[in-house]
Amino acid sequence: MHLVRCVEDLGEDDKGIFTSPLHMQPKDAYWLMPLSAATGLAFAYDTNAEQAVGVNANRTDAANKIADFGSFYATGAEGAGLYFLGLARKNPKLAETGRLGAEAVIDSGTVTLATKLVANRQRPLEGNGQGNFWAGGASHWEWDSSFPSDHATASMALARVIAGEYPHWYVMVPAYGFAEVISISRIMANQHFPADVLVGQAIGFLTGTYVLNHRATSRLSKESMTARLLSSLNPIADARTHTFGASVEIPLHQ
């Protein structure tokens, strides 16, 4: 039942996510402008940052081992693990967290793959090390180009769902900390530039937020409660006392 629902959700999610730019509003500038500025700054210092990191075989090996926990497949499996753990413990919220986490990872992976194909950026140790886009021209397509980082995307998507379902500092700090460690490890392993990681995290965070807002039962129930409150709002006018007000019915049961 949940598997069928998951497949159905993925199709709807991809449609909503890829068409979301068409529904942007002026208020989105509050997060879009800082993100654009940070991305531009990251691009400007990408090469300098990688040169500062340098190349170290032992560090690269350790960083790659850490990054394995944040790959697309690993995070998908981690989400599935939470789902089955929730089922085993008869914990619906934990099961939902795992299911939505896995959905967010898959959804974000679709966006990342499409972006990689469009960007076709070289990795730090490829070519002249400048992270050029389309260095080989239109004749060479790279399915696994550097921009953006799929590890950063997947780990942040999973972290966003977990933190959103359990908004407590003792859950949020480890969740986002996990995503940050994975992202940093990709830079330390000379696999990505800072801009690749930054944009990957943004994709993961936004995708995770989309899934939470559209699929999380707790959030949907809150939206339903708000809608019910607004629908029960009635204006009151008393001509005798020249006063105006409003009445609202507060539903005590779902």
Whole-angstrom distance, CA of residue 93 vs CA of residue 41: 39
> How long, in residues, is the chain?
254
pLDDT digits (tens, 9 = 90+) for 117-172: 999 999 999 989 899 998 877 777 777 899 999 999 999 999 999 999 999 999 99
Q: What is the mean pLDDT of residues 163-183?
A: 95
pTM (2 decimals)?
0.80
Give ∠ CA 205-172-201 in degrees, rounded to 5: 20
Q: How many domains does the chain fold into?
A: 1
* Cβ 159 vs Cβ 208: under 8 Å: yes
> Prior bond to 148 cis, omega within 30?
yes
Domain assignment present for 236: no
Domain assignment present for 6: no
pLDDT digits (tens, 9 = 90+) for 39-60: 888 889 998 988 899 999 999 9
Domain assignment present for 166: yes
* Parallel/antiparallel/unpaired status of strands 234-238 and 243-247: antiparallel
pLDDT digits (tens, 9 = 90+) for 184-200: 999 999 999 999 999 99
Please say whether the dihedral angle defined by the alpha carbons of residues 85, 89, 92 and 93, taken in this order, is positive or negative. Answer: negative
Structural domain boundaries, residue 189:
34-72+100-215
